[in-house]
Amino acid sequence: MAGCTHRNYQEDENWQTEKRNIVERNRYMFNNELMSDVHFLVGKCDKLRIPAHKYVMAISSPVFYAMFYGRMAERGEEIKIGDCEAGSFLELLRYIYYDEAKIDPSNVFGILYLAKKYFLPFLAERCVVFLEENIDHQNAFTLLAQARYFCEPKLEEKCWEIIDRETARVLSSEAFTEIDHETLLAVLTRDTLTVLEADLFKAVKRWAEGECNRKILPPTPENKRSVLSSALNFIRFPVMTLKEFSEDAAQSGILTSEETINTFLYFGSKDDTKVKNFLTHPRPGAHRAYRCTRFPTYGQDWLCEGTNVDSIKFTVDRDITVLGVGLYGVSNKEDCSSPFSVDVELLDSHNDVMCTYEGTFFADVSKRVHDILFDEPVIVRGHRPYIIRVLLKGPTTLGGTDGMRDVVTEGIRFRFDVDEASFNGTTTADGQIPDIVFKI
């Protein structure tokens, strides 16, 4: 935190001649006793005495103008400000004096609060931009609460985007266990969450335990149910598999015996009347798939004779679930009646096969890329190399061009490298395997 600067006027009486413009002159006057006509005593506990100049303050903020020149203007030369830290106030002054502010995670909320309090909308905008650029799964709920408090709908929307896109990671954060009941309801009512209902229930149990601790209640199943109250009805227990429900929710003690029995009956009958309190349709977002596309352009006539494989190496910067790959379709519409036979393998760094697909497909001429999904999704770990190998037999296909080695999709960074076993010619620059289909 910057302290007060006390320059000796006698020694610096020619300082003006060294400043080229108004910005340099105001930078010199910032936090300077020279010609100051007001002082702020700032801090929640320890007070820091900060010099300022009424004219500079007043031309930047209608609140400071009213404070110094309005009908109810302050007459004293010291003004106490006890609702902020001195460091945040100094950054407010820095912005007022020469349009800069050193915003960082430790002071951004304090500066935003002051920008709102003193009606400095462009400083508030800088704070919001900083927050938007620094949202991640660890702080999404913290920033969501602040966005609501400061009435910043754009920031709130950005937070919800992260929560929807990276639901599992966001729910695992400590910040989730600290949200209020209203926010919990807002989370549970969203169709766009990308998480299995069983994992959502595990996170909700963590929240309930935290809420019990805040209310100084023992975290018994009865108390967890009590603090959850209406939020419990927005967990879609009938969407879980029978195994998921029986191994966790049914044994949690949070549901009543009647709710547990009726949910088991629903699994056998699919009769919605058995589970009137719970929704029975899955969240669409839980099945949302994304694709990493490595070719911005494509060309014609990639040979697919079924004798050599096309393959590509890749890594990701954090864990994802790979569902399959996208392959280019026919380059000549007249070939659309000819089938493709395809073998796809995903291999780890030891060349061990993790998952496969073997089958045939007919190319739809209205689609450039056709999704080939593995028999079972597979988790790919961050910062480890993997290989996709494809043996494709059929008519000539389109082929990607101008390939990108680094691609960022939904916040996931993919890096592609040449696989030496790609004897059919696919590389990072051109070829087949344009897409990887995945979930976060």
The pLDDT tens digits for 27-60 are: 999 999 999 999 999 998 888 999 999 999 999 9
Q: Which domains does the chain carry? A: 15-134 (3.30.710.10), 180-286 (no CATH), 290-439 (2.60.120.820)
CA 217/CA 150 separation, integer angstroms: 31
**Whose structure tokens read 């680094």?**
406
The confidence score (pLDDT) of residue 71 equals 80
CB 197 within 8 A of CB 237: yes
Cα separation, 208 vs 221, in Å, equals 9
Report the chain's mean pLDDT, rounded to a whole number: 90
pLDDT computed for residue 8 by the predictor? 45
- pLDDT greater than 70 at residue 438: yes
Q: Is the pLDDT at 149 greater than 80, yes or no?
A: yes
Q: How far is CA 313 from CA 54, 348, 413, 414, 420, in A?
A: 63, 10, 14, 10, 9
Structure tokens at 157: 């929307």
Return the closest-CA partner of residue 376 out of 398, 356, 390.
356
Q: Write out pLDDT tens, residues 57-75.
A: 999 999 999 999 988 777 7
What percentage of the chain reaches a pLDDT higher than 90? 71
Task: Supply the pLDDT for residue 338.
Answer: 83
In the structure, what pLDDT confidence band is assigned to residue 1 with cuts at 50, 70 and 90?
A: very low
Q: What percent of the chain has pLDDT over 70?
A: 97
Confidence (pLDDT) at 3:
45
pLDDT tens digits for range 314-359: 999 999 999 899 999 888 887 777 888 999 999 998 999 999 999 8
Using 50, 70 and 90 to split pLDDT, how confident is the model at 11? low
Lowest mean pLDDT among 8-22, 131-145, 173-187, 246-260: 8-22
Q: Is the pLDDT of residue 143 over 70?
A: yes
- Residue 18 pLDDT: 86
Model confidence at 419, in pLDDT bands (50, 70, 90)?
A: very high
> 12 pLDDT band (50/70/90 cuts)?
low
Q: How confident is the model at residue 2 (pLDDT cuts 50, 70, 90)?
A: very low
* 78-81, strands of its sheet edge to edge: 48-52, 38-42, 78-81
Instruction: Report the run of H or E that residue 80 belongs to, with start and end.
Output: strand 78-81
Range with the lowest mean pLDDT among 176-180, 239-243, 249-253, 404-408?
239-243
Mean predicted confidence (pLDDT) in 160-188 = 92
pTM, to two decimals: 0.66
pLDDT, residue 26, reads: 92
